Amino acid sequence: MSEMITADLVDLDLSADTKEAAARALAERMAALGRVTDLEGFLADVAAREAQMPTGLDGGIGIPHCRSAHVTEPTLAFGRSAAGIDFGAADGPADLVFLIAAPAGADDAHLTILSALARQLMNAEFTAALRSVADTATAAALIRGDVTPQETASGQAASTEVEAETETDSASGETPPAEAGAPGPEAASAGAPPAATEAQATQSPTT
């Protein structure tokens, strides 16, 4: 069986402004991977489950979920919203949205996924990492449990440090040191005939 969530099932810039639009945006990713066979049929099942009870949780979390005949395998998609989306939680809109899809004959597969996810969401470091993660592959790995929030944070810190050093070097006009064994400008000039060296020194720069 494929991984339950991959980078293709993550949207870190979820632009939806309603829970229906959010479910559609994430379900479209599932459909593109062949995990949902009938998009409209699946969304109808999601809406029917949502009508029974809101799926918003305190802490800015939305977890729409359902079992559906239009799902080929248990799948989880994740979206991060900058504006927040109302999923009916008492404390306000959700910025972290998880869509759980399970096949109709998968017993309580979606509840198993929901339970495992709920345990992760109780960890403040986990939700903080989801809110700051910069790329979809790392977000998927974090949700799968392949990397820890601490590893995610340290990896992003290292990446930021490298980017800062690169920007500093560019701003100061510095260039990387020459490779060992490669002749520098002085060595090249020293080995050139006097006439050639004088010509190079007086020649105007080309445009």
Total domains present in the chain: 1
Show the domain range for 134: 7-160
Q: Write down the pLDDT at residue 16.
A: 97
Within-domain flag for 35: yes
More confident residue, 43 or 163: 43
Q: Write down the pLDDT at residue 167.
A: 54
Q: Among positive and negative, which fits the CA dihedral 129, 144, 121, 74?
A: positive
Backbone phi, then psi, for 85, in 5-degree steps?
-135, 135
**pTM, whole model, 2 decimals?**
0.74
Within-domain flag for 54: yes
Q: How far is residue 80's CA from residue 140's CA, in Å, rounded to a whole number?
A: 12
Q: Is the pLDDT of residue 75 over 70?
A: yes
Which CATH number goes with the domain that contains 110? 3.40.930.10
Q: Write down the pLDDT at residue 112.
A: 81
Question: What are the angstrom distances between the C-alpha of 154 and each of 76, 139, 158?
Answer: 25, 14, 6
Within-domain flag for 55: yes
Report pLDDT digits (tens) over 79-103: 999 999 999 999 999 999 999 999 9
Report pLDDT digits (tens) over 104-120: 976 677 778 888 898 99
Report pLDDT digits (tens) over 135-149: 999 999 999 999 999
Q: How far is residue 126's CA from residue 143's CA, in Å, rounded to a whole number?
A: 9
Within-domain flag for 176: no
Within-domain flag for 136: yes
Within-domain flag for 169: no
Within-domain flag for 115: yes
Within-domain flag for 203: no
Secondary structure, 3-state, the chain: CCCCCCHHHEECCCCCCCHHHHHHHHHHHHHHCCCECCHHHHHHHHHHHHHHCCCEECCCEECCEEEECCECCCEEEEEEEEEEECCCCCCCCEEEEEEEEEECCCCCHHHHHHHHHHHHHCCHHHHHHHHHCCCHHHHHHHHHCCCCHHHHHHHHHHHHHHHHHHHHHHHHCCCCCCCCCCCCHHHHHHCCCHHHHHHHHHCCCCC
Residues classed as catalytic: 65
Report pLDDT digits (tens) over 173-184: 655 444 444 444
Q: Write down the pLDDT at residue 193.
A: 41
